[in-house]
Structure 1
């Protein structure tokens, strides 16, 4: 299972509303949308973010 760092984030209500709206349009949770936006911003600044292996999705292989 992927390890995620949990922390409190205080946002201006208008920013939170905009993130929720964008997340809904892109079928993501607000949390996933914030992470994606942060990764895009870091990439634009030339800061690489190396992710661990992604969890496998879907049905487990049959035995």
Structure 2
């Protein structure tokens, strides 16, 4: 597995609660769910190379 870049992310507490419940519904951690959502958005925008999907 490739090394992951870590960085601090500040979120509105209400948004974090929404993400936390959403992640739990999909059996993911909040961190992995945020990464999943960002990856899906990058795919939809055509910003993700095929090799990165």
* Structure-1 residue corresponding to 2:3: 3
What's the CA shift for 1:14? 1.1
User: Is 2:27 the counterpart of 1:27?
Assistant: yes
More helix by share: 2
Segments of 4+ in structure 1 off by > 3 A? none
Flag the structure with more relative contact order, 1 or 2, with Cα contacts below 8 A and sequence separation at least 6: 1
Structure 1 residue runs without a partner (length 5+)? 52-63
Instruction: Tell me the matched-pair count.
Output: 51
Give TM-score, length-normalised by structure 1.
0.73
Structure 2 length as normaliser, TM-score? 0.85
Q: Does 1:16 align with 2:16?
A: yes
